[in-house]
Homo-oligomer: A and B are copies of this chain.
Amino acid sequence: MKRSIATVSLSGTLPEKLDAIAAAGFDGVEIFENDLLYYDGSPREVRQMCADLGLAISLFQPFRDFEGCRRDRLARNLDRAERKFDLMQELGTDLVLVCSNAAADSVGDRQILLDDLSLLAERAGARDLRIGYEALAWGRHVNTWQQVWDLVRHIDHPNLGVLLDSFHTLSLKGDPSAIAQIPGDKIFFVQMADAPILAMDVLEWSRHFRCFPGQGEFDLPGFLAPIIESGYTGPLSLEIFNDGFRAAPVRANAADGFRSLLYLEEKTRERLLQQAAPAPVLEPLFAPPKASDYDGIEFLEFAVDESQGAKLTHWLERLGFSKVGQHRSKNVSLLRQGDINLILNAEPYSFAHNFFEAHGPSLCATAIRVQDSASALARAVAYKGQPYRGLVGPNELELAAVRAPDGSLIYLVDKDAAGKPFYESDFNLNAASTPQAGLKRIDHMAMALPADSLDSWVLFYKSLLDFEADDEVVLPDPYGLVKSRALRSRCSSIRLPLNISENRNTAISHALSSYRGSGVHHIAFECDDLFAEVSRAKEAGVPLLDIPLNYYDDLAARFDFDDEFLSELAYYNVLYDRDANGGELFHVYTEPFEGRFFFELLQRKNGYAGYGAANVAVRLAAMAKSRSGAARQAKL
């Protein structure tokens, strides 16, 4: 399909926007009137700029408050339209968006609406221009696509057609399915916008909270599918009013927009396939290689130097890991426990080394187990992911990899080739070294991200890897709020809670400033007997995050625990949560390693599926206290 975006969706001056739109791969652009008004160049210059960039001007917008206007204003409104038609002809676009009248003094009489729109269509037709008529959700008399189609069908003028915008229908919980019955050539234009579901005034919601498809909660494939069925062949265009987008880096955001349309097309294709739509209907939609099933995390790779590597090894050994291998040719070691493989990379002149130089000790790569790495990589590249090829020495397996949004790597490791063959080809394995403790697998990895990058991360994982995103949770830190949104692979073998904070002094903001960018916040290891693991860790000298006794007094008030059990929880600083279905979580946190990332040990019972959100506030408060203690010590 042709892909387009409205200039209002992006930040910057008009030339900056157009550059970014062309670079992202769009075919066309909607010129939002204000972007033109504020630009210090003529419409003809804008036309030339677009032509030079290979962009069609697919639409000029908006033209407001026309049909059903107060009768004494009609002539003036027609003059206004002619002025804008002049401008469109200079711009070189033939289509204008006319949105339904929202003025309190407008009239809803059907015959007047028919007359006014006929008149406008006639005027446009005389100049070979076309009118796309759109229902605003807050239109005074016309606010559904059904009303628009009724008027357009009745007038039956070749220069008047329907303009559809997903937000205006889905925000009012409208049903798009019958759009399939509109003849495709009477749909002149389609705008796609997603949004979180918010209980608020619809105009405010529309003006400030729209987002790219896949970042919100609307069923957009359910909106687009009937449009495709109608035979519509025009562009799919993004019109996103979003306060954050108005300030976001324009190139990266335009690239996200393009990716979001690809994602929407894939999901719409899946929807149409379920409905057994014939192949020619599906043909225009983006069709990347199918996403993989996943089978958890094969290994995590940490960027360290010699000294930090030794410290981290010591930390991990106290957590029960054993060093089981040394790389054949590099300064890289392998630690293992249960199904968990951790690689510490201190090799100079490597990707990890560059990462260490930029961020200090940090997680620089995550290897996930896929069914077919070649296909997984092809999918990532089709979604404009950046593939990575590292140095490969003798005896080393080459791993397919793609860059995550923070610049770290995601290795795509073939499920069947995983485990033995990979480690044996790269490492000298020490069979004698058997881990003694009982941590079994990586449960989740939590990330700390800059506040404005959350949507971009969500879209990356949803599209390239076909992950799902849980709802956002808002949690109090003593110095502000933390927002968390968890991504997970279908079947949940990989879980990735993403955390942001708009406040300067929270745990998340401290992590960000320590990494000079986004980075891993903590890594959770699952086990079958938390008390055994935490007791072993405590004896080995792992510093555990201290939980206030008042927390346990409150547990006593909330749950029916005996005092002995509560004392044990308190002694080991174990946090507890129970879900509505009786699922239980026992979990404990370490102090951070070098003031950066930390570890969580956890045990899930009876299908507990969350992350202990009820305990995040007490954990953040304990972390704040620990930070201020560390800061005091550093001062002494």
Seen from chain A, the residues whose Cβ lies within 8 Å of a Cβ on chain B are: 11-13, 33-34, 36-43, 76, 79-80, 83-84, 87, 198-201, 204, 243, 246-247, 476-481, 502-506, 546, 548-551, 553-554, 556-558, 560, 617-618, 621-622, 624-625, 628
Judge whether A80 and B43 touch: CB under 8 Å: no
Judge whether B246 and A11 touch: CB under 8 Å: no
Complex Cα gap A446–B498 (Å): 40
**A246 CB contact (under 8 Å) in B41, B201, B503, B549:** B503
Judge whether B37 and A480 touch: CB under 8 Å: no
CB of A60, distance to nearest CB on chain B (Å): 13
Judge whether A83 and B556 touch: CB under 8 Å: yes
Complex Cα gap A424–B625 (Å): 60
Q: Which B residues touch A37, using CB under 8 A?
A: 548, 550-551, 554, 618
Judge whether A476 and B622 touch: CB under 8 Å: no
Nearest CB in chain B to that of A82: its residue: B557
Q: Which B residues touch A479, using CB under 8 A?
A: 11-12, 246-247
**A478 CB contact (under 8 Å) in B11, B478, B506, B556:** B11
Judge whether A13 and B246 touch: CB under 8 Å: no
Smallest CB-CB A-B distances: 10 pairs: A247-B503, A38-B621, A247-B480, A199-B201, A83-B557, A200-B200, A40-B548, A80-B557, A37-B550, A246-B480
Judge whether A34 and B476 touch: CB under 8 Å: yes
**A558 CB contact (under 8 Å) in B43, B80, B480, B618:** B80
Complex Cα gap A621–B11 (Å): 12
Nearest CB in chain B to that of A200: its residue: B200
Judge whether A39 and B550 touch: CB under 8 Å: yes
Judge whether A247 and B80 touch: CB under 8 Å: no
Complex Cα gap A115–B198 (Å): 38
Judge whether B42 and A549 touch: CB under 8 Å: yes
Complex Cα gap A40–B13 (Å): 52
Q: Which B residues touch A76, using CB under 8 A?
A: 560
Nearest CB in chain B to that of A86: its residue: B553
Q: Which B residues touch A43, using CB under 8 A?
A: 550
CB of A631, distance to nearest CB on chain B (Å): 13
Complex Cα gap A109–B479 (Å): 42
Judge whether B247 and A11 touch: CB under 8 Å: no
Judge whether A247 and B504 touch: CB under 8 Å: yes
Judge whether B40 and A553 touch: CB under 8 Å: no
Judge whether B546 and A40 touch: CB under 8 Å: yes
Complex Cα gap A433–B384 (Å): 70
CB of A17, distance to nearest CB on chain B (Å): 9
Query: Given that A556-B83, A557-B83, A625-B13 are known contacts, is A481 also in contact with B246, CB under 8 Å in the complex?
Result: yes
CB of A308, distance to nearest CB on chain B (Å): 30
Complex Cα gap A33–B79 (Å): 65
Q: Which B residues touch A243, using CB under 8 A?
A: 480-481
Judge whether A617 and B199 touch: CB under 8 Å: no
Q: Which B residues touch A617, using CB under 8 A?
A: 34, 38
Q: Which B residues touch A622, using CB under 8 A?
A: 38, 40
Complex Cα gap A549–B87 (Å): 13
Complex Cα gap A92–B554 (Å): 18
CB of A559, distance to nearest CB on chain B (Å): 10
